[in-house]
Structures are given as structure tokens and as C-alpha cells.
Amino acid sequence: MKEDRYQLNKQLAQMLKGGVIMDVTTPEQAEIAEQAGACAVMALERIPADIRAAGGVSRMSDPKMIRGIQEAVSIPVMAKCRIGHFAEAQILEAIEIDYIDESEVLSPADDVYHIDKTRFQVPFVCGARDLGEALRRIAEGASMIRTKGEPGTGDIVQAVRHMRAMNGEIRRVQNLRQDELFEAAKQLQVPADLLKLVWEKGRLPVVNFAAGGVATPADAALMMQLGAEGVFVGSGIFKSGNPAKRAAAIVQAVANYQDARLLAELSADLGEAMVGINEEEIALLMAERGK
């Protein structure tokens, strides 16, 4: 991948900042999401909560279904491929997807290697639980990072843990002397040049969103106040009682995440939230996939 293309791909993520990216499974849902103010949609056959319930192997979505969603909306369309499944990624690139999510939500195709994302023209977003995972994905060519959280649960605890871990580690790195960075890079198992960028700027070299377990406007505001630059909402919207209203409320909550009075209004009368599963009740920890 040419350096120019990588820059352009990181810059598309900059345009998504302050926005909400919503999981959708049909063109109709995509239109609801766009009208509710989504800044992009993630096209997938089953939302994470249903993937969790169905069990079995979960794969890239049917390209025909993704095309249907591309035709239905004008905002960017993302789609997921399995960790390490570069052939699925090639197919998504062939249908001109705007962003590929190499995602732990699907069943991993490779338990050692992630995709060499530098060989693609289209951008990739990857999940991470801490600074080490984030910088390893960026070294492989990811142009956007999101917390892994725990998808399909409606439980925010893991996204909070991952965002705090990442930002806490960034603050610790900033306090190092320059000559201590090499040892820190060794311990984090990341390239020293990327760690130096973090040390200089006090942030990841790419945009960082929250994902995995966001179900309410308050969840979204919490993640933004913890330093997320935007939010992915998967099952939280279309597993709730009133998807259009909840989606719009979460969009507004992200735009005004520091205004508690407005958040109170936004949180009122949204109908039933997704039921969710507690961390302790989860049989499968998706965040453990792909380190």
C-alpha cells in the first residue's frame, strides 16, 4: 500500500470522529440508521447478540447483501471479515467497501497471524484491548482502532476496561525518558517507532473509537468522556424496543457527551433497552480472540 493511500485511509477515520457507527443487517435498517444520524454503517448478516445466540462458525457476509446496503445509503459502509482471513478481505475490497473491520466478532480464521493490511488499498479498523494490541494492529496496517469491549452483551464493563487500559498506558509512556522507550517497546511487544509517536503526541497515531457493549446514550457519553473519539453500536440499537429513537438519542449523546441535562432528556422514554448478558454469564469471550 502506498503511503498516500494509508494517509487517506487514516483521514477518512478522522471524518467519522464524533459520530456513531451502527450495525445493520438489511437495507431497511441501514436507512433507519442513516436517518437517525449514523456517520457510517457496519453491514453484517447477524448482529453480535444473534451470533452469540446462534453459535457455530460466523463468517463474512454475503456480498450481495452488502451491495444492497451500499445502494441504500450515502454514508460510508463497513463490513467485517474474520481475523486472518485475507481472502475475505480481498472480496470486500473488490466490492469497494469503505472500511473493513477485521473482527473478533466473527470466528477467527487464523489463530496466529492477522491480515497484512499494508497490502490493501481499502482501510481497516481493528479491535484492541490495550496499547500493545492497538500498536500491533497499526503496525500491520490498521488505519483506525476500536476497543474490543464484549460484543453482543449490552454490558459496557469491558469497553471501559479496554479504553482505560489503552489511555492509562499512553499516559505512562508519555512519562518515560526518550531512552527508555526501547525497553517499553520490548515489553509491550510493539515497534519502537510507533511507540515513539505515542510518546510525542500523547495519543494513538490513528483515530480510536469505543465498541462492544454500548446500549444507551449514557454508555456512549461514558465512553466519550473516557477519551473515545466516536462510538460503534452493534446489537444495542436493533435489539432494543424502539431502534430509530434509541439510535437518534445515542447520536445526540455523542455530540453533546458533556451535557448531563441534555443526556437526561435523551435517556428518557426510549423504550426497552436490549436485555444484555452480564460479563459473568458469558460463555464465549470474543475479546480473547486475536492478540
Partner 1 sequence: MNIGILALQGAFVEHGEALEKLGIQHFEIRQQRDLNRPCDGLILPGGESTVMGKLLRELGLFAPLRERIAAGLPVFGTCAGLLLLAKNIDGGGPCLATMDIRAKRNAYGRQLGSFYAEKDFGDLGRVPMTFIRAPYILEVGLGVEVLAEVEGKIVAARQKNQLVTAFHPELGEDLAVHRYFVSMAKGIRLSAGGSAQ
- Tell me which residues are annotated as active site: 80
The piece of 42-50, 125-133, 169-177, 250-258 that touches partner 1 (CB under 8 A) is 250-258
Look-up: residue for cell 496466529?
A: 112
As measured in angstroms, the least distance from the Cβ of 249 to partner 1 is: 10
Distance between CA atoms of residues 149 and 177, nearest Å: 31
190 vs 198 by CB, closer to partner 1: 198
Choose, by CB under 8 A, the member of 39, 49, 106, 134 that binds partner 1: 39
Distance between CA atoms of residues 151 and 104, nearest Å: 9
As measured in angstroms, the least distance from the Cβ of 188 to partner 1 is: 27
Residues 129-144 as b or e (16 or more Cβ within 10 Å = b): bbbbbbbbbbebbbbb
> Total residues contacting partner 1 (rule CB under 8 A)?
37
Look-up: residue for cell 452488502?
A: 66
As measured in angstroms, the least distance from the Cβ of 95 to partner 1 is: 9
Distance between CA atoms of residues 210 and 147, nearest Å: 5
Residues 57-116 that bind partner 1 (CB under 8 A): 70, 74-76, 96-99
Q: Contact between 278 and partner 1 (CB under 8 A)?
A: no
Q: Contact between 37 and partner 1 (CB under 8 A)?
A: yes
Distance between CA atoms of residues 126 and 80, nearest Å: 10
As measured in angstroms, the least distance from the Cβ of 171 to partner 1 is: 19
Compute CA 20 distance to the chain's CA centroid, rounded to the nearest angstrom: 10
CB 80 within 8 A of CB 58: no
215 vs 266 by CB, closer to partner 1: 266
Q: Contact between 18 and partner 1 (CB under 8 A)?
A: yes
As measured in angstroms, the least distance from the Cβ of 77 to partner 1 is: 8
Using DSSP bridges, classify how beta strands 77-82 and 99-103 pair: parallel, antiparallel or unpaired: parallel
Compute CA 88 distance to the chain's CA centroid, rounded to the nearest angstrom: 18
Contacts with partner 1, residue ranges (CB under 8 A):
4, 8-9, 11-12, 14-19, 34-40, 70, 74-76, 96-99, 121-123, 248, 251-252, 254-256, 259, 262
